[in-house]
Amino acid sequence: MKVRFWGTRGSLPVAQKAGTIRDKIAAALVAADGRKFADVNDARRFAEDEIGFAVSGTYGGATSCVEIEADEEAFIVCDLGSGVREFGLDAMGRCAAGHARTYHVFLSHFHWDHIMGFPFFVPVFDPNAKIVIHSGHTDAEEALRRQQEEISFPVAFDWLRADISFRLLEPGQTYEIGAVKVQLIEQNHSHKSYGYRFTNAAGKSVVYSTDSEHKIDAMDAEEAFVAFFGDCDLVICDTMYSLADSISMKEDWGHSSNVVAIDLCHQARVRRLALFHHEPTYSDADIQRMHEESIRYEELTREHAPLDVICAYDGLTVEV
Amino acid sequence: MTRGDLAWTVETRGAVRLVAPAGRIDEASATAFAERLAQEIDSAAACGSAKLAIDLAAIDYMSSRGLRGLTLAQRQSGESGIAIVLVRPNEIMREILAISRYDKVFQVFDDIERIGTA
């Protein structure tokens, strides 16, 4: 099973400015310290191995969209943030090479950043595509139709060519969808959100849990998440804020922190945690620092096997 | 002492009630930690203390449950007009306070003697 991150930013898409790129180039040149490179590949190795990711790359700016590749019979994708535009283009290429044109979409909720990519998702114009929108909410169709009304977008929902259907899922049930078993859990967020657990035939499992606030006055409720995350190979978690922010000025904004995510994953004996739904005001350096601090917090609080803490970025592929 | 138990020492220094828990504050001990802090706030209010100082020198580590227990205590103490301050964080606690940004929402003192004069 592979997990591909097509959009990892929270709330709002962001783009790099010219000055930011210039600063990265300047930092790389200083790090190179006059060194000569034999060719582009030699320079690329230097960029990948010898300077930090915040300088050599970027965490990206597309909003939530994560693909779970289980087989070639159907695509599985979590959320329709702006990252789904690029996923759609890539998927069309794979379909041309023989991949089935079935898409199972799992929506955490319908806030803009999680559905804004749908009007630009090219497979909706493919008359041979079948798209099933799975959700724990009863109003998924209303949300997607509403954002394509004329006041918001020039292409109406009814003009889309794919066979699009909606399916309501319930927490506590296990569904066999495509090549995976799927479970969901209700999360605390405005208008609710849902987290999903995907398990393939080999028993490998991935949890997608974003836009989920773990309330300070309901900490006992975290036991349900520990059980839901239990023994998981990869948990993708909303880590938008620092703990202090999440319980002070940003309390009730519906998001969680890196340290709560690590604690939940430690309790659940999770093997790998992907930090996700990055704060849009964070620079690449800010996100890298948050990642480094998260790794350190995991070390300081570890009681059992190590938890591998990775930081999701647009374009990252993880083998589970 | 079994897992989940914390050892506490308490003393009053003028207008400051100083409490010093020792051990790990994790999921097993966080509830007891928060309940004991609530008691200490009541005691501090009863004694007329202006501040409750929590000595972090003997804390092995504190998870998010413990940190959030500090916040709940801060909210409770605010209603009683008592300020909660943190004092003498060891190296591990200093790192945890920085990573969680709790050093931005609590006053942190390196020296017990400086609390009263702050």
Residue B2 maps to a domain:
no
Residue ranges making up the domain that contains B75: 7-114
Contacts of B46 (CB under 8 A, 6+ apart): none
Q: Do residues B48 and B42 make contact, with C-beta atoms less than 8 angstroms apart?
A: no
Question: Do residue A46 and residue A177 come from a single domain?
Answer: no
Gyration radius (Cα) of chain B, Å: 13
Mean per-residue pLDDT of chain A:
97
Chain B nearest CA to A164, separation (Å): 42
A128 and A44 within one domain = no
| Cα–Cα distance for residue pair A187/A240, rounded to 1 Å | 15
- Flag whether B22 is in a domain: yes
Q: Considering the domain boundaries, does residue B62 fall inside one? A: yes
Cα-to-chain-centroid distance, residue A188: 18
Which residues of chain B have a CB within 8 Å of the CB of A245? Answer: 101
Contact of A182 with A175, CB cutoff 8 Å: yes
Q: What pTM value is reported for the model?
A: 0.95
Q: Token pair 């010219």 is at which residue?
A: A18
Domain for residue B73, yes or no?
A: yes
Contact across the interface for B102 and A244, Cβ inside 8 Å: yes
- CATH code of residue B66: 3.30.750.24
**B105/chain A closest Cα distance in angstroms:** 7
Tell me, yes or no, whether A103 and A245 share the same domain: yes
A229-262 residue pLDDT tens: 999 999 999 999 999 999 999 999 999 999 999 9
The pLDDT of residue B1 is 46
> What is d(CA A276, CA A292) in angstroms, rounded to the nearest whole number?
14
Q: Are B36 and B2 in contact (CB under 8 A)?
A: no
Could you tell me the CATH number of the domain that includes residue A306? 3.60.15.10
Whether B19 is covered by a domain: the verdict is yes
How many domains are contained in chain B?
1
Q: Is B107 on the interface with A (CB under 8 A)?
A: no
| B94 close to A (CB below 8 A) | no
Long-range contacts formed by A137-142: CB under 8 A, 24+ apart: A137/A107, A137/A109, A137/A110, A137/A168, A137/A191, A137/A192, A137/A194, A138/A168, A139/A110, A140/A107, A140/A110, A140/A166, A140/A168, A141/A166
Query: How many structural domains compose chain A?
Result: 2
Mutate to test the interface with B, among A226, A266, A297 (most CBs of B within 10 A): A297
**Same domain membership, residue A135 and residue A47:** no
Burial of A213 (0-12, 13-18, 19+ CB in 10 A): buried
Whether residues A40 and A105 share a domain: the answer is: no
Going residue by residue through chain B (118 aa), what tens digit of pLDDT does each one get?
Answer: 455 689 999 999 888 999 999 999 999 999 999 999 999 999 999 988 899 999 999 999 999 999 999 999 999 998 889 999 999 999 999 999 999 999 999 999 999 888 875 5
A120 and A262 share one domain: yes
Do A260 and A171 share a structural domain? yes
For residue A247, what are its two tokens? Answer: 């319980």
Mean pLDDT (whole number) for A267-289: 98
Report ipTM for this prediction: 0.93
Same domain, A23 and A62: no
Do A264 and A278 belong together in one domain?
A: yes
Percent of chain A with pLDDT over 70: 100
Task: Tell me, yes or no, whether A84 and A105 share the same domain.
Answer: yes
Kindly identify which residue of chain A lies nearest to residue B65, measuring between CA atoms.
A219
- A219 interfacial to chain B (CB closer than 8 Å): yes
In the prediction, which pLDDT does B3 show?
54
My answer on whether A200 and A51 are in the same domain is no
Inside any domain, residue B1:
no
If you search the block for the tokens 């003192």, which residue do you land on?
B109
Domain containing A44 equals: 18-56
B104 chain-A contacts, CB cut-off 8 A:
244
Q: Is residue B49 part of a domain?
A: yes
Q: Is B79 within the bounds of a domain?
A: yes
CB distance A244–B72 less than 8 Å? no
Say yes or no: A50 and A180 in one domain.
no
